[in-house]
Amino acid sequence: MQNQTIIESALAAGKDELTLLIDALSKDARFNVQHQIKLDKGYFVVDIWKDGLNHCYLSSANSWPGDHYLLEKVQETITKMREVLREFNVALPLPVNTSSNVVRLPNATMAPSVQLRSGKVFDYANISEMQFDIEDIAHALSNICRFNGHTREFYSVAQHSVLVSSIVPEEHALAALLHDAAEAYCGDVVSPLKQLLPVYQSILNTVEQQLFKSVGLSWPVHACVKDADLTILATEVRDLMMPHDQHWTHLKSFTPDTFTIHPLPPGGAKALFLDCYYSLQSKAAALAANA
């Protein structure tokens, strides 16, 4: 009955069958599958980390009813997909909100926490209680090099974040500026490796979600931020990396921006990031005051 209610509500809202399936599955999956399930070569796949890579084949699409489908066929497909998701979820951690969800090594003697630039301690076992400091974030991101350090010269996550923020609609600029802010606490693991580390990804997602909540932003970010992120990535590959025809094929649909990237040293990148942050916050406050 619950499935039927979900389906009928989606039909009434004019949703297509794929969106309908995603909405239903999102209610069961431990990870966020919203807008991440798609058809690929006859299979349903899930793009867990929203990076354009298909990380888990979920189910054959042979029984998928297509454009003109029957209600019971959709219900049957959802049931099958849920069974696969339940099996897949066994390998994935729940979001880390309490110490019971932290993976602890038997012989580990250190606590699951790190000291920050400000002198504060960030506790991975108690993320929901943490207070975020933009100065800590700016400092860390300005000292983290993109591409695992393999750029022609030092180029920071902080500068990358400012560039992403500069090419999205203004209402999404703050979210774009902070889209990698969780890396200030979790480090910048390159995407190809990140997809093999579900525990790390779960912790990163939880930090990002709490950070966005603390500044009044919705999470996950709007699709335009992801598009801008990939556009800037294509620009960075052009300006900062050695040429490689095969490795970046997933960026074919993204055109590099017209400007040329000139990397800043950490101090300059930090100042630029903070200027951008305070400017966006000031604009938001002015709009709220005039509303």
Average pLDDT in the chain: 78
Q: What is the pLDDT of residue 26?
A: 53
How many angstroms separate the Cα of 234 from the Cα of each of 139, 185, 217? 25, 26, 26
Q: What is the pLDDT of residue 96?
A: 37
Can you give the three-state secondary structure of the chain, one letter per residue? CHHHHHHHHHHHCCCCHHHHHHHHHHCCCCCCCCCCEEEECCEEEECCCCCCCCCEEEEECCCCCCCCCCHHHHHHHHHHHHHHHHHHHCCCCCCCCCHHHCCCCCCCCCCCEEECCCCCEEEHHHHHHCCCCHHHHHHHHHHCEHHHHCCCCCCEHHHHHHHHHHCCCHHHHHHHHCCCCCHHHHCCCCHHHHCCCHHHHHHHHHHHHHHHHHCCCCCCCCHHHHHHHHHHHHHHHHHHCCCCCCCCHHHCCCCCCCCCCCCCCHHHHHHHHHHHHHHHHHHHHHHHHHC
Q: What is the pLDDT of residue 93?
A: 40
Cis status of the peptide bond prior to 220, with omega within 30 of 0: yes
Both structure tokens of 53:
């890579």
- What separation, in Å, do the N-terminal and C-terminal C-alpha atoms of the chain show? 43
Q: What is the pLDDT of residue 197?
A: 87
Domain made up of 101-290: CATH architecture:
Orthogonal Bundle (1.10)
Rounded percentage of the chain residues whose pLDDT exceeds 70: 63
Q: What is the pLDDT of residue 77?
A: 62
Q: What is the pLDDT of residue 27?
A: 52
- Of 17-21, 194-198, 214-218, 274-278, the range with the lowest mean pLDDT is 17-21
Give pLDDT tens digits for 43-83. 555 555 555 555 554 444 444 444 444 455 556 666 666 66
Give pLDDT tens digits for 132-175. 999 999 999 999 999 999 999 999 999 999 999 999 999 999 99
Give pLDDT tens digits for 81-137. 666 555 555 444 443 333 334 444 555 567 889 999 999 999 998 898 889 999 999
Determine the Cα–Cα distance for residues 25 and 215; give it in Å rounded to an integer: 29
Q: What is the pLDDT of residue 69?
A: 43
- Of 112-126, 211-225, 245-259, the range with the lowest mean pLDDT is 245-259
Q: What is the pLDDT of residue 249?
A: 87
Q: Do residues 127 and 210 make contact, with C-beta atoms less than 8 angstroms apart?
A: yes
Q: Which burial class, exposed, middle or buried, applies to 212 when counting CB atoms under 10 A from its CB (0-12, 13-18, 19+)?
A: buried
pTM for the whole thing? 0.66
